[in-house]
C-alpha cells in the first residue's frame, strides 16, 4: 500500500522563536518524494516530523532526499482509564492548589526556568536552534495555559507564599485530559509532590467528566514513568521526533552568488554533479583557501538544456554551507550540502 502522508503545517511559534522556517507533521509513514516536494515548495529550514516508533524502519527512506536529518527524541505516551476511577486524597494536604493568576507569574516564571532550563528535548538536540529560546518556549507554553481559559488550565502549588510546583492540563478533547507540563522546585522534591500533581490531575479530569487521561514524557525519564505506572497509567505507544534540517532560507552570512555555464554534455546526472563539485572546490578550496568536505547532492529536478545557471551559496552556520543551483526562472535543480572545515573548531 502507498504511504499516506499528512501535509506539513507551518509552525509559526517555532519559526518566530528560532528565526527559522519551521513546518511540522505527525505521519503514519514516510514518503520521501512527497516530503521533499513539500519542503522545497515551502522553502523549509527545519521540518519536524513525528512517527510511531513501530514505523522507525521507514526512516531510511529519508536517505533518498539526501537532506540532513536527525532523530531527536523518543516520547512515551501513557494513558489512564478514568471510567472506574474514584477521586483520591493528596499526600501533602496542607499545600494550596489554585489556578495561576497574574500574581503567581513571577514565581511561576522562576519555577519553569528552574525545572525546564536544561531539560533535554528535541529542540535542544538540534544544533540550529538556540538553547535559550527553548527555555523561553517552555515559558510561553506554560503561560498559554493561564488567563482563565476554560479548556487550558495551569495550577500552581503554594507552600505559604512560595510557588513550589505547577501543572498544566488540556481539556480540548471531548473525552480526555492531557497532562502537558509539570514541575516541582528542587527544595520540595522527594516529598510526594509529583504524585500529588498527578492525583490532582486525575481528580480534576474525573470531575470534568473525562473518561481517560494522557501523559507524555521523554523515554529516558525513568522517574516520571515509575510515578505514572504507580498511579495506574499504562504505556500506550511511543513516538520518535525527526528533524529534517533542509535549511533552505537560513544563512548567517551574506549569500554568495556565482554563475555557472553548463554544456550539453554536462547537464546529465553525475556529470553535472561532478562539474558542480569542481566549481565548489575551485571557489572554496583554491580561491578561499578553505577545506570543503562531506558533500551531499540532492538532485531535485533534471536539467533539460545547456546554458547559464545560478549557484547560490548560503551558510546555515559558520561550518555548514548549502549550494542551490537554479535557472533564470528560479527553478531549483540541485542542492549540495557540505562542511567548511576552515570554520570547524
CA distances (Å), origin 294, targets 83, 121, 231, 277, 333: 56, 27, 49, 11, 20
Q: Map grid coordinates 502522508 to a residue.
A: 5
Q: Which three cell numbers stand for residue 215?
A: 501523559
- Indicate the average pLDDT of the chain: 92
Ordered alpha helix ranges (H), 208-299: 222-230, 269-280
Q: For the segment 320-329, what is each residue's pLDDT rounded down to a tens digit?
A: 999 999 999 9
Q: Taking residues 291-296, report their average pLDDT.
A: 92
**Rounded to the nearest 10 degrees, what angle do helices 131-143 and 105-116 cross at?**
140
Residue 30 phi/psi, 5° resolution? Answer: -120, 120
pLDDT category, 215, cuts 50, 70, 90?
very high
Residues 230 and 80: their CA atoms lie apart, in Å, by 11
Query: What pLDDT sits at residue 309?
Result: 96
Cβ-proximal residues to 172 (8 Å cutoff; 6+ apart), any chain:
151, 152
pLDDT category, 5, cuts 50, 70, 90?
low
Query: What pLDDT sits at residue 14?
Result: 96
Cα torsion through 209, 212, 213, 217, rounded to 10: -170
Q: How does strand 9-10 pair with strand 22-26? A: antiparallel
Cβ-proximal residues to 173 (8 Å cutoff; 6+ apart), any chain:
none
Give the whole-number percent of the chain exceeding pLDDT 70: 97
Query: What pLDDT sits at residue 191?
Result: 86
Q: For the segment 142-177, what is each residue's pLDDT rounded down to a tens digit?
A: 999 998 888 999 999 988 888 899 999 999 999 999
Query: What pLDDT sits at residue 257?
Result: 96
Q: Which three cell numbers stand for residue 169?
A: 492540563
Question: pLDDT at residue 201 above 80?
Answer: yes
SS3 state of residue 327:
coil
Residues 154 and 138: their CA atoms lie apart, in Å, by 13
Among 241, 225, 201, 236, smallest CA distance to 78 is for 236
Q: In which region does residue 247 sit, left (phi positive, over 0), alpha (psi from -120 to 50) or beta (all else)? A: left
Ordered alpha helix ranges (H), the chain: 12-18, 32-41, 105-116, 131-143, 193-207, 222-230, 269-280
Residues 322 and 131: their CA atoms lie apart, in Å, by 23
- The top-level CATH class assigned to 256-343 is alpha beta
Task: Please say whether the beta carbons of 212 and 68 come within 8 A.
Answer: no
CA distances (Å), origin 272, targets 82, 131, 163: 62, 39, 63
Q: Taking residues 218-234, report their average pLDDT.
A: 95
* Domain locations in the chain as residue ranges: 84-210, 256-343
Q: For the segment 11-47, what is each residue's pLDDT rounded down to a tens digit?
A: 999 999 999 999 999 988 899 999 999 999 999 999 9
Task: Please say whether the beta carbons of 313 and 322 come within 8 A.
Answer: yes
Q: Taking residues 250-255, report their average pLDDT.
A: 96
SS3 state of residue 332:
strand
Q: For the whole model, what pTM was predicted?
A: 0.91
pLDDT category, 286, cuts 50, 70, 90?
confident
Residue 288 phi/psi, 5° resolution? Answer: -95, -5
Task: Please say whether the beta carbons of 239 and 55 come within 8 A.
Answer: no
Question: pLDDT at residue 222 above 60?
Answer: yes
Query: Which CATH architecture fits 84-210?
Result: 3-Layer(aba) Sandwich (3.40)
Amino acid at each position: 500500500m502507498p504511504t499516506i502522508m499528512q501535509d506539513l503545517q507551518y509552525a509559526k511559534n517555532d519559526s518566530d522563536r528560532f528565526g527559522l522556517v519551521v513546518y511540522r507533521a505527525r505521519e503514519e509513514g514516510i514518503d520521501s518524494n512527497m516530503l521533499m516536494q513539500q519542503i522545497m515548495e515551502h522553502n523549509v529550514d527545519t521540518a519536524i516530523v513525528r512517527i510511531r516508533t513501530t514505523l522507525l524502519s521507514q526512516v531510511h527512506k529519508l536517505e533518498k532526499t539526501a537532506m540532513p536529518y536527525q532523530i531527536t527524541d523518543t516520547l512515551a505516551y501513557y494513558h489512564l482509564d478514568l471510567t472506574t476511577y474514584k477521586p483520591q486524597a493528596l499526600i501533602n494536604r496542607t499545600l494550596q492548589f489554585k489556578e495561576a493568576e497574574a500574581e503567581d507569574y513571577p514565581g511561576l516564571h522562576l519555577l519553569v526556568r528552574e525545572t525546564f532550563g536544561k531539560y533535554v528535548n528535541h529542540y535542544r538536540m538540534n544544533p540550529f536552534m538556540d538553547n535559550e529560546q527553548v527555555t523561553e518556549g517552555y515559558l510561553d507554553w506554560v503561560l498559554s495555559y493561564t488567563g482563565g481559559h476554560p479548556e487550558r488550565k495551569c495550577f500552581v502549588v503554594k507552600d505559604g507564599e512560595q510557588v513550589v510546583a505547577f501543572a498544566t492540563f488540556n481539556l480540548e478533547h471531548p473525552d480526555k485530559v492531557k497532562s502537558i507540563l509539570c514541575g516541582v522546585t528542587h527544595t520540595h522534591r522527594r516529598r510526594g509532590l509529583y504524585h500529588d500533581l498527578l492525583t490532582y490531575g486525575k481528580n480534576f479530569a474525573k470531575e470534568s467528566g473525562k473518561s481517560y487521561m494522557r501523559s507524555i514524557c521523554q523515554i529516558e525519564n525513568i522517574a516520571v514513568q515509575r510515578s505514572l505506572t504507580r498511579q495506574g497509567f499504562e504505556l500506550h505507544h511511543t513516538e520518535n521526533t525527526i528533524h529534517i534540517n533542509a535549511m533552505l532560507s537560513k544563512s548567517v552570512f551574506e549569500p554568495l552568488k556565482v554563475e555557472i555555464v553548463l554544456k550539453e554534455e554536462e547537464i546529465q546526472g553525475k556529470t553535472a554533479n561532478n562539474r558542480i563539485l569542481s566549481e565548489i572546490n575551485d571557489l572554496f578550496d583554491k580561491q578561499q583557501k578553505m577545506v570543503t568536505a562531506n558533500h551531499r547532492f540532492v538532485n531535485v529536478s533534471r536539467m533539460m538544456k545547456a546554458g547559464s545557471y545560478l549557484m547560490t551559496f548560503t551558510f546555515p552556520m559558520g561550518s555548514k554551507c548549502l549550494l542551490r543551483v537554479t535557472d533564470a526562472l528560479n527553478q531549483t535543480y540541485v542542492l549540495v550540502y557540505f562542511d567548511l572545515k576552515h570554520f570547524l573548531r
